[in-house]
Structure formats: structure tokens, C-alpha cells
Amino acid sequence: SLALRAYLTCLAREQAAQPCSAGTTHIMSGLRKLSACPVMHQPLSEDEVVNTSSHFALGGYLSTEFLIITGAHNLLASGQWKLLADEPGLIERAVWEMLRYDAPFQMADRWVARDCYLGDVALPAGSKLVVVYGSANRDEKVFPERPGEFDIRRDYDPQQIYGFGHGIHRCIGEKLALATAAATISTLVKAFPDAKLSGKGQWLADPYFRSLDALAVLPR
């Protein structure tokens, strides 16, 4: 974290001093320009630009890593790794089911913007909530058929799956994460169609994240 922050701080100062050529922008100066949006009360500070860039780097890397490792584990544990090897056209469904069944981020903190009700519960403005995406992804009212089972043949509506969050908080890296996970899993399945799990890894203890710390696999 310290190393990344130091790197991004130097990068922000370096790029802020460099003019952008026509049709291009540096990521840091781009954030500073975006921060001048009229709906914002004040521009982002250098510190806020660095923090935002850090979130992009860590969030995009870790979430995709978690999705791939838990997805591979569930495909292998359920016996559907071989199914995907035989029917590679199922990869898009498989990735969405990976997101639904074991979302990389299970929970997120949110603050109530104004007084409101959720069901019959009063929520005063400023209240802090924890949104449990992992539970929503297995809601039997939304997924009436075996919501607690992993099934890559499942019919799905991407808007009902909260693996990328929801509304204004929906992940801006969604398309890149989907493409990366699909390419990685497809390549592994094609290279090792008869792979088997070898041993059981440990799940992360952090309730906000869902992933194994390691995955041992026999190629055949």
C-alpha cells in the first residue's frame, strides 16, 4: 500500500506538469479535469486523486483475481469444469454464475442520503448501512430455482446479479472484468479439460471479500 501510494503520488505530480497531446490524456490529469464537473462542490485534491487511482488499481486487480479463483474452484468442485470444456459456448453464462454464486465483494458500506424507509424500517439521513450483495445474489424471490446451487446453465438477467454492485455504484470496470475472467477461464479449461481439485484451500476471513487464498489443481 505504501509503495503503490508513493508511486501514484509521483505519477500524479509528473503527469500534472505534462501537456496532453491531441486526443489523449494522462490518467491523473484526467481525474483532475473530471473533478471540475459542475455537480461537484469542489475539485478533487491531489490526495483524493491518488486515493481514487489506488482504488482503481486495487479494486480492479483484486476483484478480478477473486472472481477467477473462486470461479475455477466452483467449476471444479461442481463437476462443471468438464461441462464447460465440452461446451465452450457456455463461458458467458459461466462467468455470470461465478459472479452470482460467489461475488468477489460480498458486502459494501453505504450512507443514507436522506430520511427514508426500507420496508417498514425508518432510515435517518446519515445512517451507515452494510449492503450484503452476496445475500441478494441468492435471493429465492429473484432466483426461484435452486439459488444456493452453482449452475452454469442457469438463465440469468445481468441486472439482477449484484456482483458488480448496483445503480450509481455499479463497477466501471465491469466489461473489462468480464472479458478478463472469460478469457482466463476459457484458456485454462481448453488447456486442462480434465483438471481436478487437489486439496482444500482456506477462505479469506474478511467478511467483505470472498476468495480462497490458494487453489491447488491437478492438471489431469
Percent residues over pLDDT 90 in the chain? 52
* DSSP codes of every residue in the chain: -HHHHHHHHHHHHHHHTSPPPTT---HHHHHHHHTT-TTSSSPPPHHHHHHHHHHHHHHHHHHHHHHHHHHHHHHHHHTHHHHHHH-GGGHHHHHHHHHHHS-SB-EEEEE--SSEEETTEEE-TT-EEEEEHHHHTT-TTTS-S-TTS--TT----GGG--TT--GGGS-TTHHHHHHHHHHHHHHHHHH-TT-EE-S--PBPS-TTB--BS---EE--
Q: Is the pLDDT of residue 142 over 80?
A: yes
Q: Is the pLDDT of residue 23 over 70?
A: no
Average pLDDT score over residue span 207-220:
89
Out of 33-37, 69-73, 135-139, 171-175, which region has the weakest mean confidence (pLDDT)? 33-37
Q: Is the pLDDT of residue 193 over 80?
A: yes
Percent residues over pLDDT 70 in the chain? 87
Strand partners, 212: 203
Tens-digit pLDDT profile for residues 94-116: 999 999 999 998 998 889 999 99
pLDDT at 146: 92
pTM over 0.75: yes
pLDDT at 130: 93
Out of 59-63, 65-69, 126-130, which region has the weakest mean confidence (pLDDT)? 59-63
Q: Is the pLDDT of residue 59 over 80?
A: no
Q: Is the pLDDT of residue 24 over 50?
A: no
